[in-house]
Amino acid sequence: MANPIVSRAELAIGGKPMTVKGVIQKTSLLLGLSTITGVGFFFYALMAGLSQGFITMAAFGSMFAAFGLALFITFKPHKAKTFAVPYALLEGIFLGGISLFFMRMYPSVPVTAMCATFVTAAVMLGLYRSGLVKVTEKFRSIVTSALIAIMLVYVAQWVLSLAFGSSLPFLFEGGAIAIGFSLFVIIIASFTLLLDFDNIDRGVAMGVSEDYEWLFSIGILATLVWMYIEFMRLLSYLQD
């Protein structure tokens, strides 16, 4: 669920320029839609007694659809405005399904992970705004390289899981190594938020069109969803 979108955007100059306030409003809208959809799917699945197999299929089907949509937006950033809401709804279904999966095993994990996600996001925003952490080109390069490495690990895990019903040794099976890897991923996700904030500031400074507020909002939503999922994974390991 990382965010390659904002760094690859072919930013359009002209028209009414984007603002930080505009990005905040659109991010709030998309986050609200994802939350409402996720909570709705969560309780519908509970009350309707949907099987775990169906819930898993719906959740991961939505995840792959959202990932495909994000890739499309990466190469067609001017389409972000059109596909922002569908992307948020797909992420909501995924969040609802995966949260129910974890809750059935560890009831306190989803709420704790949600709180940890928003606290981490607030801390990273505070660090960025205070100037204590600066997004240099070297910092950006390191985080981007780590993102690519993590994505490759995820892809390998998906292939093994779908094709053979197994997982990468140690990294997704609990234990000290899995906990360490999950902590590393959360740290990189947190740093990715710093890249998101810096991308927004760069866009505002360049006078980018306000239509691209949707693009940056999708990026922040993608990072928060990724962080939330990884927090749930970490907390589940700690429960075990």
Q: What is the pLDDT of residues 18-58, one digit of tens each?
A: 888 999 999 999 999 999 999 999 988 888 877 788 888 88
Residue 156, CA atoms < 13 Å, CB-side half-sphere: 11
Q: CA-CA distance, 185 to 179, in Å (whole number)?
A: 10
- How does pLDDT run across 84-106, given as a tens digit for each residue? 999 999 999 999 999 998 888 88
* Neighbouring C-beta atoms of residue 114, cutoff 10 Å: 17
Give the model's pLDDT for residue 3: 47
Q: What is the pTM of this model?
A: 0.86
Q: Give yes or no for residue 186 having a pLDDT over 90.
A: yes
Residues 6+ apart with CB under 8 A from 88: 29, 30, 31, 33, 34, 37, 221
Angstrom distance (rounded) from CA 200 to CA 148? 21
Do residues 199 and 6 touch, judged by C-beta distance below 8 A?
A: yes
- Across the chain, what does the average pLDDT equal? 85
User: Tokens standing for 209?
Assistant: 């069109």
